Amino acid sequence: MKIAPSILSANLMELGRELAMMEEAGAQWVHVDVMDGHFVPNLTFGVPLVRQLAAATALPLDVHLMVGNPLEQLPWYLEAGAYSVTVHVEACAEGELPRAIEAIHEAGAKAAAAIKPATPVGTLAPVLSMLDMVLVMSVEPGFSGQSYIPSSAVKVAHVVELAREQGASPLIEVDGGIGVETAPLVAAQGADVLVCGNAVFAAMDPAQAIAAVGASGDGARRSAMTSL
Ligand code: DX5
Ligand code: ZN
């Protein structure tokens, strides 16, 4: 189980220290929420920050693009050093998603597609076999600190089922309201990567929170596998 702390909730005045904490705590990825104020109401980070993060840490940068024109913007983030780029299916016009995935792969990065809470898993069917990862949003994208939407675990199970039908095996990432209480719900259904904003950075001991969420997810996954 991978934990990807989302720097949206980090202390941005102390980002260097936050990165060191993530590295020492054993976080596997750094999740970077790029928001454009159009696709989602909020406005956050852009290319300069991704470039500086890439120079400052060896941790892979998991760039989550919440922008209305991903095809246009994704080359910038690939060039800036993203390890993986996630594009929302809702932001893509007909035929754009496969082109986006190809562009990400051509740059040597990992390609992921995200679905918002109201978007059916079936929208991923045409591209699932091309994807390295699927991101199931467990809150409406835009803000950290929201409550986990309970139907998200079922969506994770649907992605697992659809992938199995197609003989595909993308990683499954879940983003929004994930902490020690909710990690087991999605981990038991097959989630591989957990994005954590508030659960890590609002904790008294963020490093301990990273370990605790990882352990609760791993535990749930192990029991789900032994009960099969
Ligand atoms: C929400 C972002 C998330 C956010 C998660 O649109 O995509 O990555 O930072 O924050 P928490 O874990 O606090 O819900
Ligand atoms: Zn995110």
**Residues labelled catalytic:** 33, 175
pTM (2 decimals)? 0.98
Best mutation site among 175, 200, 213 for ligand 1, i.e. most ligand atoms within 8 A of its Cβ? 175
**Residues, CB-to-ion distance under 5 Å, ligand 2:** 33, 64, 175
Atom of ligand 1 nearest to the CA of 40: 6
* Percent of the chain with pLDDT strictly greater than 90: 98
Per-residue pLDDT of 174-210, as tens digits, reads 999 999 999 999 999 999 999 999 999 999 999 999 9
What's the 195 CA to ligand 1 centre distance in angstroms? 7
- Does residue 228 have a pLDDT over 80? no
Radius of gyration of the chain (CA): 16
> Which of 67, 153, 152 lies closest to 118 in space, CA to CA?
152
Phi-psi region of 23 (alpha: psi -120 to 50; beta: other; left: phi over 0): alpha
Residue 86 in contact with residue 124, Cβ under 8 Å?
no
- Domains, in order of start, for the chain: 2-227 (3.20.20.70)
66: which 2 tokens?
A: 């919440």
CA-wise closest residue to 112 among 170, 157, 159: 170
